[in-house]
């Protein structure tokens, strides 16, 4: 992805809120989501975030505010899910994004600009839904730091599995339990085997965890039996979001030998409302490489472009807000912060690996990156890492509480953004979810 005029850090919009310092949604971002006005029975439809507003793409399409391929893309995005837009491919995505950028720039005039102004809806007045009809959801496991940290809990003498440095590992999740940010969920019930016990017990999860992840949405799919080579992989990726793959660690560790995660993972996955396009992320691409003394990717997972700019430098943080925080009017305590650039495998490698056996992906499919952890303790992407498997209390300084795992009433907030000198700061918004008590209690 090369830079173009939509990445100009000096660009400003006639919408002043888009020019505010620290805004997640300046004119250089323009992420896509699906929304409707809160409290109404309106149809959900595609929208684009700009400043504190949402561009109603259904209104844009009706008014003819854009033309040509951009108009076709706007009509596709005016539907209750973005699948039709994602199927159109990068040329259409870019045409719509560029048309909106041009009409939003300070000084832009004309009927299209007037129609765009009329399409704006305050973000404070809308509600969101999952932006695509997710046919399939796959979650990867691509942070070597997370793998080592969790591996030490399960296999202290051999924390890293032999395949990790050779292959992007993944499991198939449950698309039906992917929910939009702000959706609460009940603590899951299941079986767990306590250390030294002779039989498992059934009940509410006692080791509930979050996972700091990013997700990416598939654009054009591939035919069954036709792998996507790594040199073409990013032509099939629309953009990225924040993703929290909630995990019942006690249930997960008991059930996943020998076939992998099942009920410990599929009860809830929370995504952020906005998809930041790969084009918007172009200024934040970074080189990718495995350390020279470690196994190098096999040829089908390697390309010059992937080595040159396969990584994405997204800054990430996790905030925990307990019921006590809320009672005190406090936003919560930050538990950790890291960067997506630490991942051991790139999103192109993940998508290529997914299809290399001929598996067919479809527009709107969701792929999770796996937990994102950095090399230091403060960069851990899950509470099981921070608490060293539940053996160490994590302080919440604002309230004086501590945690080893999540408690009922806890809200976990994931945030992400990109910033560096010489580029406009862009953000992802947030992924937020609250833990409710188990159905039926203990």
**Same domain assignment for residues 44 and 163:** no
Report the CATH number at residue 431: 3.90.850.10
Q: Is the peptide bond before 278 cis (omega within 30 degrees of 0)?
A: no
Residues 318, 34 contacting (CB under 8 angstroms): no
**End residue of a domain, out of 128, 148, 172:** 128
Q: Which of 128, 158, 181 corresponds to the end of one domain?
A: 128
Judge whether 441 lies within some domain.
no
- Domain boundaries, position 89: 5-128
Q: What are the pLDDT tens digits along the chain (442 aa)?
A: 789 999 999 999 999 999 999 999 999 999 999 999 999 999 999 999 999 999 999 999 999 999 999 999 999 999 999 999 999 999 999 999 999 999 999 999 999 999 999 999 999 999 999 999 999 999 999 999 999 998 887 777 778 889 999 999 999 999 999 999 999 999 999 999 998 899 999 999 999 999 999 999 999 999 999 999 999 999 999 999 999 999 999 999 999 988 889 999 999 999 999 999 999 999 999 999 999 999 999 999 999 999 999 999 999 999 999 999 999 999 999 999 999 999 999 999 999 999 999 999 999 999 999 999 999 999 999 999 999 999 999 999 999 999 999 999 999 999 999 999 999 999 999 999 999 999 987 7
For 173, the token pair is 């999740």
How many CA atoms lie less than 13 Å away from 329 in the CB half-sphere?
A: 0
Task: Write down the pLDDT at residue 217.
Answer: 98
Residue 154 is predicted with a pLDDT of 73
Same domain, residue pair 124 and 141: no
- Give the pLDDT confidence score for residue 155 in this predicted structure: 76
146 has catalytic annotation? yes
User: Does 266 fall in a domain?
Assistant: yes
pLDDT, residue 167, reads 97
Please report which helix (H) or strand (E) contains residue 242, including its range: strand 237-245
Helices (H) and strands (E) in the chain, counts: 11, 26
Give the C-alpha distances (Å, rounded to integers) separating 383 from 18, 248, 361, 392, 406. Answer: 35, 11, 32, 10, 8
- Cα angle at 235 between 234 and 241, to 5 degrees? 55
In angstroms, how far is the first alpha carbon of the chain from the final one?
Answer: 52
Q: Find all residues with CB under 8 Å of 149, minimum gap 6, and list them.
A: 159, 373, 380, 382, 384, 385
Q: 89: number of CA atoms within 13 Å, CB side?
A: 8
**Structure token digits, residue 38:** 């809160």
Report yes or no on 442 lying in a domain.
no
Do 378 and 406 fall within a single domain?
yes
Is residue 174 located within the same domain as residue 234?
A: yes
Do residues 117 and 202 both lie within one domain?
no
> 30 with 159, same domain?
no
- Residue 54's CATH number: 2.30.30.230
**Domain end residue (candidates: 128, 160, 181):** 128
pLDDT at 326: 98
21 and 161 belong to one structural domain: no
Q: Say yes or no: 172 and 78 in one domain.
A: no
d(CA 91, CA 439): 47
Annotated active-site residue in 98, 128, 145, 146: 146
Claim to verify: residue 185 and residue 251 sit in the same structural domain? yes
Place of tokens 């992007």: 168
**Is 187 a member of any domain?**
yes
Q: What letters, b where the CB count within 10 A reaches 16 and e where it falls short, cover 18-42?
A: beeeebbbbbbbbbbbbbbeeeeee
Per-residue model confidence (pLDDT) at position 381: 97
């Amino acid at each position: 992805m090369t830079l173009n005029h939509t990445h100009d850090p000096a660009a400003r919009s006639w919408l002043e809120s888009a020019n505010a310092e620290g805004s997640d949604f300046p004119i250089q971002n323009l992420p896509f989501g699906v929304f409707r006005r809160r409290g109404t029975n309106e149809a959900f439809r595609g929208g684009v975030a700009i400043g504190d507003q949402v561009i109603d793409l259904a209104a844009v399409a009706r008014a003819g505010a854009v033309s040509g391929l951009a108009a076709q893309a706007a009509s596709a995005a005016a539907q209750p899910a973005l699948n039709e837009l994602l199927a159109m491919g990068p040329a259409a995505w870019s045409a719509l994004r560029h048309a909106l950028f041009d009409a939003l720039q300070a000084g832009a005039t004309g009927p299209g600009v007037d129609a765009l102004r009329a399409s704006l809806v305050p973000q404070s007045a809308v509600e969101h839904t999952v932006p695509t009809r997710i046919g399939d959801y796959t979650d990867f496991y691509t942070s070597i730091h997370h793998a080592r940290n969790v591996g030490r809990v399960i296999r202290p003498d051999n924390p890293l599995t032999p395949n990790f440095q050779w292959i992007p590992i993944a499991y198939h999740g449950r698309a039906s339990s992917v929910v939009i940010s702000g959706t609460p969920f009940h603590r899951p019930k299941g079986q767990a085997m306590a250390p030294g016990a002779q039989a498992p017990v059934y009940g509410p999860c006692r080791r509930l965890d979050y996972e700091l992840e990013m997700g990416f949405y598939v654009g054009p799919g591939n035919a069954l039996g036709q792998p996507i080579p790594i040199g073409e992989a990013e032509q099939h990726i629309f953009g990225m979001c924040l993703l929290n793959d909630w995990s019942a660690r006690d249930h997960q560790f008991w059930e996943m030998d020998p076939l992998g995660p099942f009920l410990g993972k599929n009860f809830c996955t929370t995504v952020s409302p906005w998809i930041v396009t790969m084009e918007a992320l172009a200024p934040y691409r970074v080189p990718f490489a495995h350390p020279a003394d470690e196994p190098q990717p096999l040829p089908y997972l390697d390309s010059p472009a992937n080595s040159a700019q396969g990584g994405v430098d997204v800054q990430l943080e996790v905030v925990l807000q307990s019921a006590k925080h809320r009672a005190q009017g406090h936003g919560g305590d930050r538990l950790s912060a890291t960067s997506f650039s630490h991942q051991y495998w790139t999103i192109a490698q993940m998508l290529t690996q997914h299809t290399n056996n001929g598996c067919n992906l479809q527009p709107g499919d969701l792929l999770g990156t796996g937990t994102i952890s950095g090399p230091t303790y403060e960069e851990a992407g899950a509470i099981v890492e921070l608490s060293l498997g539940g053996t160490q209390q994590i302080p919440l300084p604002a309230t004086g509480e501590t945690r080893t795992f999540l408690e009922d009433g806890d809200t976990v907030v994931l945030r992400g953004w990109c910033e560096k000198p010489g580029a406009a700061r862009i953000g992802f918004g947030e992924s937020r979810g609250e833990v409710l008590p188990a159905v039926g209690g203990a």
